[in-house]
Chains A and B, each alone.
Chain A
Amino acid sequence: MIGKVAITGLGYTEFSAGSPGTSFRELTYEAAAKAYNEVGIEPKDIDTFVCTSEDFCEGYSISDEYCNDQLGAVLKPVQTIPGDAIHSLAVGTMLVLTGQFDIVAVQALSKLSNMKTIPNMVNFAFDPILNRPLDEHYSYVSGLAMNRFLHDGKATREQCARVVVKNRANALQNPVAAYAADLTLDNVLDSEPVSEPVRLLDLAQVADGAIVFVICSEQTARSLTDNPIWVKGVGWSTDSPSLESRDWGNAVSTRLAGDMAYKMAGIKYPAREIDLAEVTDEVSFKELEYIEALRLFEPGRAGLALEDGRTTRGGDLPVNVSGGDLGVGHLFEAAGAQKLMEIVLQLRGTAGSRQIANAHTGLAQAWRGEPTTSAAVAILSNK
């Protein structure tokens, strides 16, 4: 990457199933104030702002117009990305690399507890002529994908359930996670069937929360903090939206987004060079699918790696130490921000009781959720 870009400030709220009594503005203000305070800056020092929002999630058309007060971005250059927060980080990184913006704030928010008809909203993301008339709950797409994944021998049903047990237990060490739990494999395998093979506990539950990052150029980063976390590479990709003709057995867009980020970061052997990863586990099997697509494990080996404890907190390549979407909560467009946040905390060495020893390079990946095929990846490093 030409010139270096670093994440210097990080602010976040706790993640919770609901946040009654706090408006979306007040949530973001809390995260932004913490992020700016960390590096001793004020909004006047920030050159431009990148927000993340999706109108249907917020319940406002042109929701981007409502992003700026709470960030201190009134009458400042602001733009909004209707994608995942990792897309926003990619945009913020590019803004710094232009040389025109030295300090950039990147924001993400989930206030999904306020959206009362989520199945209808997600159904509205499907093709209106070809798919919506079927009137199915959107989890059927996860059912189709998981069945194909299992049929292709990528993992076993038990291994998928093990992802849930691991991640919700990981969340027990994360004080801001919403869905920490001590579960058994049978709890997951015997939970209510939803769209089989997907069962209730295979699915992440919605949570609220806000996250703000301050990113800046190398020179400024060094003046603001002693522990800058460098953005080494970013990548993103989207497959065809067609449910009828996408590649069901393979997470192609995540593979390509990962390869793009690795190339930028100069990473040749991801399995050896990545110390930890936070990836989408919005549906249990996705974690296994994505870590394989990201070349962190050989094809068909992700489930075995999990069984062998290699992806647990004490393993050689911990995955979703934060608790992931399953343990922290499903944050929709803010999902990638929570993954970036965990990598930043780990690489700073401030992850508390869930700290990974000797972590230098981490990967954050997010998928935009059903029925999308959009994925974004970022590689962060403390060196």
Chain B
Amino acid sequence: MELGKFKLGGTQLKQSDIDRGKVLTLAQTPDLEYAWDDGVAIGRYLEELKNGKIIARKCNKCGRIMIPPRMFCELCWRATDEWVYCKDTGTVNTYSLCHVNWDASRIPEGEPLHLPALIHIDGASPGMGILHVLGEVDPDRIKIGMKVKAVWKKPGEREGSITDIMHFKPLRAARKKSKKKKSGGR
């Protein structure tokens, strides 16, 4: 924040005051480790990602084909019925151009932006998809409704994780042709 340009009242507390111990604080970092059980539905989902496939779970009552899959339909309140493979293509439902990293540090000028997007997967019910990132795309040319396809890691490099898909890239057009100043993808 550029507070220097405002006239502020009182005595300002500076970082150097804290660094020199003029303000008494006590810093600690929690050491917390978790290993969450994936369960039946998400376990199978991750296993199929390792195979390079996207799998959904279908509820025969409401007919929804759900990604991420779940063993129970949260709307019908019943066990879901069957596994259904979906395509690895889809449509951008919404996206954002992120100039900051997860810890709020800024991406240096000229470096690729983060391009998180919600992608509706072909074969799943409307509203069902994958939260992922876009790549191989010019950020200025991303459009809601754009058709995209998963770009997978090589089979030997996949580990049963959502990051077995590196990113989704445009099926056509909008593809990055030349290296621009603000190019997307990592």
A225 proximity list for chain B (CB < 8 A): none
Q: Specify which of A22, A72, A113, A117 is in contact with B40 (CB 8 Å cutoff).
A: A22
Among the listed stretches A93-101, A121-129, A149-157, A362-370, which one makes contact with chain B, having 4 or more residues with CB under 8 Å of it? A121-129
Contacts A59-B34, A120-B30, A128-B26: A43 and B77 contacting too (C-beta < 8 A)? yes
Q: Specify which of B30, B36, B40, B43 is in contact with A114 (CB 8 Å cutoff).
A: B36
A116 within 8 A of B: yes
B8 within 8 A of A: no
CB of B33 within 8 A of CB of A117, answer yes
CA distance A43 to B34 in the complex (A): 31
Q: Specify which of B28, B30, B37, B75 is in contact with A21 (CB 8 Å cutoff).
A: B37
CB of B37 within 8 A of CB of A24, answer yes
Instruction: Return the CB mask of A204-230 against B: 1 if under 8 Å, else 0.
Output: 000000000000000000000000000
B72 to chain A: closest residue by CB: A29
If over half of B's interface residues share one DSSP class (helix, strand or loop), that class is named, otherwise mixed; here it is loop
Q: Specify which of B26, B31, B41, B75 is in contact with A26 (CB 8 Å cutoff).
A: B41
B65-79 at interface with A (beta carbon < 8 Å): 70-72, 74-75, 77
CB of A115 within 8 A of CB of B74, answer no
Count A-B contacts at CB 8 Å.
75
CA distance A162 to B43 in the complex (A): 43
Q: Specify which of B31, B36, B37, B42 is in contact with A120 (CB 8 Å cutoff).
A: B31
A111 within 8 A of B: yes
CA distance A159 to B2 in the complex (A): 67
B77 proximity list for chain A (CB < 8 A): 36, 42-44, 72
CB of B40 within 8 A of CB of A23, answer yes
Q: Specify which of A23, A59, A121 is in contact with B41 (CB 8 Å cutoff).
A: A23
Closest chain B CB from A33 CB (angstroms): 8
CB of B28 within 8 A of CB of A23, answer no
A237 within 8 A of B: no
B72 proximity list for chain A (CB < 8 A): 26, 29, 33, 69-70
Contacts A29-B72, A43-B77, A72-B74: A23 and B39 contacting too (C-beta < 8 A)? yes
A20 within 8 A of B: yes
B71 proximity list for chain A (CB < 8 A): 26, 29
CA distance A113 to B36 in the complex (A): 9
B36 proximity list for chain A (CB < 8 A): 23-24, 59, 111, 114
Q: Specify which of A19, A43, A128 is in contact with B28 (CB 8 Å cutoff).
A: A128
B34 to chain A: closest residue by CB: A59
> Among B32, B43, B71, B77, which residue has the most Cβ atoms of chain A within 10 A?
B77
Interface positions of B (Cβ within 8 A of A): 26, 28, 30-43, 70-72, 74-75, 77
19 A–B contacts from the bound complex (CB under 8 Å): A21-B43, A22-B37, A22-B40, A23-B38, A25-B70, A29-B72, A42-B77, A56-B32, A59-B32, A69-B70, A69-B72, A115-B34, A116-B34, A117-B33, A120-B31, A121-B32, A124-B32, A132-B28, A133-B26
Sample of 9 further A-B pairs with CB below 8 A, known A43-B77, A111-B37, A121-B32? A23-B37, A23-B41, A26-B39, A26-B71, A44-B77, A113-B37, A114-B36, A116-B35, A128-B28
Interface positions of A (Cβ within 8 A of B): 19-26, 29, 33, 36, 42-44, 56, 59, 68-70, 72, 74, 111, 113-117, 120-121, 124, 128-129, 132-133
CB-based closest 5 A-B pairs = A23-B39, A59-B34, A69-B74, A116-B33, A72-B77
